[in-house]
């Protein structure tokens, strides 16, 4: 509980500081004011990758150890990842509309692969809801989480593999193709959003643990087999 509040406190301060940096960074020579969206678009995209990557790690760790906490961590991470993927798509569409004059293009590799990743993880959440047995749910979602995470490098490198509308990475090992203030703004927001992810992960994992404990204790798990009683047939009827 204390860890959650500490992380939320740090994330809130960091996000406020990050927002102030987004206001201070210079407007881009080509894109103008709309380039400030980088301070929110890149952190949300990064968190989508981090969240889905960790979903796979926690899921595989569950397959190896069968510790329920790892399954809860995987589920919480996937849920938060879906939220941040949606935000990456929305902020990207707003930025695209301002820069390219078009909000969406199915012909763009980054846009299409991100949308595909978003739908796969919506499926992951649906699969968890559709499986009442805890062990079966953990096993099925761990496998889907591991397979789904293969999309993370695909989405990340899609801009290099298929040169379409979306620009390539702005930060590479050989340097960043942006002014220092823009890079600082992006990194401050990236750090703050990562703290936010950790706070949400701790909170949601705790809730999932309580949910499962409560459901197991009171047998509230949806199970048609226990509710449906076979009819008693009378002889001659």
Partner 1 sequence: MTDPAVLASFIATYLAVAGYVGSLVWRDRKQREQR
Q: Which of 91, 151, 182, 185 is in the footprint of partner 1 by CB under 8 A?
A: 91
Nearest approach in angstroms of CB 182 to partner 1 is 13
Long-range contacts of residues 216-220, Cβ cutoff 8 Å, at least 24 apart: 216/134
Nearest approach in angstroms of CB 12 to partner 1 is 10
Q: Which of 21, 44, 51, 77 is in the footprint of partner 1 by CB under 8 A?
A: 44
Cα distance between residue 178 and residue 184, in whole Å: 10
Residue 19 found at the interface with partner 1 (CB under 8 A)? yes
Contacting partner 1 within 52-81 (CB under 8 A): 80
Contacting partner 1 within 120-159 (CB under 8 A): none
DSSP string, the chain: -HHHHHHHHHHHHHHHHHHHHHHHSPPBTTTBGGGGGHHHHHHHHHHHHHHHHHHHHHHHHHHHH--HHHHHHHHHHHHHHHHHHHHHHHHHHHHHHHHTS-S--TT-HHHHHHHHHHHHHHHHHHHHHH--SHHHHHHHHHHHHHHHTTHHHHHHHHHHHS-SSS---SEETTEESS-HHHHHHHHHHHHHHHHHHHHHHHHHHHHHHHHHHHHHHHT-S--HHHH-----PPTT-
Q: Whose Cβ is closer to partner 1: residue 97's or residue 136's?
A: 97
Residue 40 found at the interface with partner 1 (CB under 8 A)? yes
Angle between helix 68-99 and helix 109-130 axes, rounded to 10 deg: 150
Which stretch, 29-37, 106-114, 127-135, 150-158, contacts partner 1 (CB under 8 A)? 29-37
Nearest approach in angstroms of CB 44 to partner 1 is 7
Q: Which of 136, 207, 216, 222 is in the footprint of partner 1 by CB under 8 A?
A: 207
Which stretch, 124-132, 142-150, 174-182, 209-217, contacts partner 1 (CB under 8 A)? 209-217
Residue 204 found at the interface with partner 1 (CB under 8 A)? yes
Residue 50 found at the interface with partner 1 (CB under 8 A)? no
Q: What are phi and psi of 154, to 5 degrees?
A: -65, -45
Which stretch, 57-65, 170-178, 179-187, 203-211, contacts partner 1 (CB under 8 A)? 203-211
Q: Which of 2, 29, 33, 174 is in the footprint of partner 1 by CB under 8 A?
A: 33
Cβ distance 189 to 43 under 8 Å?
Answer: yes
User: For binding to partner 1 (CB under 8 A), which residues are involved?
Assistant: 15, 19, 22-23, 32-34, 36-37, 40-41, 44, 80, 83, 86-87, 90-91, 94-95, 97-98, 196, 200, 203-204, 207, 210-211, 214
């Amino acid at each position: 509980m204390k860890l959650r509040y500490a992380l939320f406190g740090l994330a809130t301060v960091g996000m406020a500081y990050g927002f102030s940096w987004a206001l201070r960074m210079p407007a881009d020579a080509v894109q103008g004011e709309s380039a400030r969206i980088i301070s929110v678009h890149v952190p949300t995209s990064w968190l989508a990758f981090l969240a889905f990557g960790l979903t796979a790690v926690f899921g595989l760790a569950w397959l190896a150890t069968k510790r329920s906490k790892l399954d809860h961590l995987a589920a919480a991470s996937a849920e938060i990842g879906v939220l941040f993927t949606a935000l990456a798509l929305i902020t990207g569409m707003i930025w695209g509309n301002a820069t390219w004059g078009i909000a969406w293009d199915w012909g763009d590799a980054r846009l299409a692969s991100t949308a595909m990743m978003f739908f796969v993880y919506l499926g992951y959440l649906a699969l968890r809801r559709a499986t009442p047995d805890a062990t079966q749910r953990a096993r099925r979602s761990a496998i889907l989480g591991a397979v789904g995470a293969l999309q993370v490098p695909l989405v990340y490198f899609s801009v290099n593999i298929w040169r379409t509308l979306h620009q390539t990475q702005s930060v590479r090992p050989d340097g960043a193709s942006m002014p220092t203030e823009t890079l600082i703004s992006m990194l401050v927001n990236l750090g703050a959003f990562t703290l936010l992810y950790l706070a949400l992960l701790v909170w949601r994992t705790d809730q999932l643990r309580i949910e499962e404990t409560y459901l197991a204790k009171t047998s509230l798990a949806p199970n048609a087999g226990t509710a449906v009683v076979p009819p008693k047939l009378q002889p001659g009827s």
